[in-house]
Amino acid sequence: MTTRYTRDHEWVRQDGEHATVGITPHAAEQLGDVVFVELPAAGASFSKGQEMAVVESVKAASDVYAPVSGSVVEANAGIVDDPASVNADPAGSAWFVKLKLTNPAELDALMDDAAYAAYLETL
Amino acid sequence: MRYLPLSNADRAAMLATIGAQRIDDLFADVPADALNATIDLPPHRGEQEVERILGAMAAKNRTAASGPFFVGAGAYKHHVPATVDHIIQRSEFLTSYTPYQPEIAQGTLQYLFEFQTQVAALFGMEVANASMYDGSTACAEAALMARRITKRGRVLLSGGLHPHYAAVTRMNSELVGDTVTPMPLDPAGEEDIAAAIDDATSCVIVQSPDAFGNLRDLRPIAAAAHAKGALLIAVVTEVISLGAVMSPGEMGADIAVGEGQSIGNGLNFGGPYVGLFATRERFMRQMPGRLCGMTQDADGKRGFVLTLSTREQHIRRDKATSNICTNSGLCALAFTAHMTLMGEAGLRRLAAINHQRAIEAADALAAIPGVKVLTRSFFNEFTLRLPQAAEPIVERLAARGVLAGVPGSRLWIETPEADDLLIVAATECVTGEDIERFCSVLTSALEDLR
């Protein structure tokens, strides 16, 4: 499974026709202590770039955009109950949603590990 | 020394720079018929003379204190203790704007926190904000909040909702594309609004005591709304009533809004007033307005701090829950000061006196031939049906020094069934003599006009 990244600091990990989406450790660190997460309901569908979730820290509220098009198969209730987990394990257990992909080819346009690391260097 | 900052040459240079001939060119978009070129003002006078002229004009007003006063319909004359005025005139309070730095001005934040605590307790809700502009804008914001929560677009208005609240809510909701469905005029408080709630309804807005004075049991309406996935918004325009009746929260409302003018604030020619807004904790993040919380600082000392500001416009910009990022600070302070002076026991006594005066007034008025009291269950306000149109009678009574109430035609414009209605409020400021005087001039006015 490869992980891809957006310029808005979402990560997306493909598993066949499904993909898991979260925010990157860089995003979580920049936000500071996350206090609230709002996730879409299962069944909701999004096209690439649409606002999909909201993550709120003590200093900012930010939108999370759909990195690729798809419909929500599952939203992670764990991070709604424990928003601090987004700071603790953003790339792992604190995933936001699992999507059923409508256009898997969109993943090819996103950054891989090396490209994202290089992108962070430019910020 | 020259006091005018710009010379004619300066102005000409500025106009030339932007390509205008005259200053009037800058106002070319103002319709010609909206310009009043001939304002007919007399030449200037000396200060004493101006005071005399304006004093004579002001003396033509009939004020709430100038005689028997039974006017209500959303703005109520209550006694405001002198202490309230003394507290709000302290310059630390009087001159400060709503805070933006989260923890600066602990005194202001503390009274806002106390205000919120009082409002939440009065409404029987878990959380209240630091106030809105007035009751009607609080009502409109509640409808928009219900839209955000339910993701539905139909607002159902009770026929007993104050028509000004209905108008403000309708304008705001229709601007975002929602449908607003008003129920028919309901002077007797008998509408079956529960039956009108459907699967597309975001919220049902019911006032109690309603615009005619009827006390409404909100519990069956709350149950019907929740069965359809809609929210119940309860409106209270006379907040003193909450010292006597079951709170909106206890009756199952999801959002409770109201006008706080009755506590601590004078009539003020209709404003500034103070909007009250409270809801359930689970809806807190969808709430509009400023919110102050209590916390501990690094040394463990109690402190107050603005909280959940990320919902607000100065941080969240176009995604904010509302474009309200201020509050009615001074009016909220007056509310808090008066409420603190009264306490729960004082509020209950005040409410009981209001109710008693209203019963006395209603009983006395009902004894006048041709006058019918329509309101069966009321707090301090009720509706009369007169044997003829109410407005000319109100004018006639005003000429005899009695301000009798609000005629239905004043609130429900071009609504013939409201023409013979007179809405009468009796607060603790009304005396037995006032009621006698009201009855005697009304009796003679009805005889004269027969």
Mean pLDDT confidence for B335-354? 98
**Contact yes or no for B130/B292 (Cβ under 8 A):** yes
Task: Please name the residue that has the structure tokens 């003018």.
Answer: B261
pLDDT tens, position by position, A72-103 = 999 999 999 999 999 999 999 999 999 999 99
Gap between the Cα atoms of B84 and B61, Å rounded: 26
Query: Token pair of B65, please?
Result: 């204190």
Segment among B25-39, B265-279, B343-357 with least mean pLDDT: B25-39
Residue B38 is predicted with a pLDDT of 77
Q: Which residues pair with B132 in a beta bridge?
A: B275
pLDDT at B356 over 90: yes
Mean pLDDT confidence for B29-55? 88
Average pLDDT, chain B: 94
Element (H, E) at B421: strand B421-425
Mean pLDDT confidence for B279-296? 94
The overall pTM is greater than 0.90: no
Helix, strand counts (H, E) of chain B = 13, 13
3-state secondary structure of B127: strand
- How far does the CA of residue B231 sit from the closest CA of chain A (Å)? 20
- How far does the CA of residue B282 sit from the closest CA of chain A (Å)? 13
- The confidence band for B146, taking pLDDT boundaries of 50, 70 and 90, is very high
CA-atom Rg of chain A in angstroms: 13
Residues in chain B with CB shorter than 8 Å from the CB of A38 are 285
Residues in chain A with CB shorter than 8 Å from the CB of B315 are 60-61
Residues in chain B with CB shorter than 8 Å from the CB of A44 are none
- B228 shares contact with chain A (CB less than 8 Å): no
* Contact between A36 and B285 using a beta-carbon 8 Å cutoff: yes
Residue A30 is predicted with a pLDDT of 93
- The confidence band for B322, taking pLDDT boundaries of 50, 70 and 90, is confident
Gap between the Cα atoms of B133 and B138, Å rounded: 7
- How far does the CA of residue A15 sit from the closest CA of chain B (Å)? 32
How many CA atoms within 13 Å lie on the side-chain side of B300?
0
> How far separated are the first and last CA of chain B, in Å rounded?
73
Query: Token pair of B101, please?
Result: 């730095």
- The confidence band for B2, taking pLDDT boundaries of 50, 70 and 90, is low
List the single residue in A36, A57, A61 with the smallest CB-CB distance to B316: A61
- B315 shares contact with chain A (CB less than 8 Å): yes
pLDDT tens, position by position, A15-39 = 999 999 999 999 999 999 999 999 9
Q: Where are the beta strands (DSSP E) in B174-281?
A: 179-182, 201-207, 231-236, 255-259, 275-279
Q: Which phi and psi (to 5°) does residue B163 adopt?
A: -60, -25
Contacts of A69 (CB under 8 A, 6+ apart): A45, A46, A47, A48, A101, A102, A103, A106
* Contact between A61 and B315 using a beta-carbon 8 Å cutoff: yes
* Contact between B311 and A61 using a beta-carbon 8 Å cutoff: yes
- How far does the CA of residue B311 sit from the closest CA of chain A (Å)? 8
**Contact yes or no for B146/B288 (Cβ under 8 A):** no
- The confidence band for B5, taking pLDDT boundaries of 50, 70 and 90, is confident
* Contact between A61 and B285 using a beta-carbon 8 Å cutoff: no
Segment among A40-44, B7-11, B77-81, B314-318 with least mean pLDDT: B314-318
Which residue type is seen at B419?
D
Gap between the Cα atoms of B411 and B170, Å rounded: 16
Task: Please name the residue that has the structure tokens 């006196």.
Answer: B353
If one compares B222 and B6, the residue with the highest pLDDT of the two is: B222
A71 by Cβ neighbours in 10 Å (0-12 / 13-18 / 19+) ranks as middle
> How far separated are the first and last CA of chain A, in Å rounded?
27
- B63 shares contact with chain A (CB less than 8 Å): no
User: Residue by residue, what is the 3-state secondary structure of chain A?
Assistant: CCEEECCCCEEEEEECCEEEEEECHHHHHHHCCEEEEECCCCCCEECCCCEEEEEEECCCEEEEECCCCEEEEEECHHHHHCCCHHHHCCCCCCCCEEEEECCHHHHHHCECHHHHHHHHHCC
For chain B, percent of residues with pLDDT exceeding 70: 100
Residue B316 is predicted with a pLDDT of 77
CA distances (Å), origin B42, targets B23, B39, B60, B298: 26, 10, 20, 65
Residue B320 is predicted with a pLDDT of 84
Residues in chain A with CB shorter than 8 Å from the CB of B316 are 61
pLDDT at B1 over 70: no
ipTM: 0.70
- The confidence band for B62, taking pLDDT boundaries of 50, 70 and 90, is confident
Residues in chain A with CB shorter than 8 Å from the CB of B311 are 61
B261 by Cβ neighbours in 10 Å (0-12 / 13-18 / 19+) ranks as buried
Residues in chain A with CB shorter than 8 Å from the CB of B317 are none
Q: Which residues pair with A98 in a beta bridge?
A: A20, A74
pLDDT tens, position by position, B358-375 = 999 999 999 999 999 999
Query: Token pair of B390, please?
Result: 């109410």
Residue B101 is predicted with a pLDDT of 83
pLDDT at B90 over 90: yes
Residue B96 is predicted with a pLDDT of 83
Gap between the Cα atoms of B335 and A119, Å rounded: 55
Q: Which residues of B368-383 are buried (b: 16+ CB within 10 A; e: fewer)?
A: beebebbbeebbbbbb
